[in-house]
Amino acid sequence: MDGITEFAKLLKERENKLYSGPAIGVVQSVSPLKVILGDRIVLTGTRLIAAAQVFAAYAEPLSQCDEVILIPSGDGQKYYLIDKAVRI
């Protein structure tokens, strides 16, 4: 296989990769915590790891329909809820 064909195959493999950067989710319920990501992903329990500051006494508590900032784990099976999102 020549270099150009090899390079083209590498580029083709990179297509259609899932986005794995920060995302915005919406709180569906606070207790138990349930966050909706996109149209079909529901995050609860073992798939959602929340930062302690989200529940700290000094912070404004989460409410249903609040937007939150999520970061996926390397394998995309868990999400880290790092804070409440505020649009400015």
pLDDT at 19: 64
Q: At the topology level of CATH, where does 18-84 sit?
A: OB fold (Dihydrolipoamide Acetyltransferase, E2P) (2.40.50)
Q: CB count, 10 Å around CB of 70?
A: 23
The Cα–Cα gap between 63 and 86 comes to 13
- Residue linked to tokens 């798939």: 47
Q: In whole angstroms, give the CA distance from residue 32 to residue 39.
A: 20
pLDDT top residue among 88 and 14: 88
- Reported as a pLDDT band with limits 50, 70 and 90, residue 45 is confident
pLDDT at 5 over 90: no
Prediction pTM value: 0.74
| Residue-level pLDDT at 88 | 93
Residue 14 has pLDDT above 80, yes or no: no
User: For position 54, what pLDDT does the model report?
Assistant: 84
- The two three-digit tokens of residue 70, written as one number: 């999520």
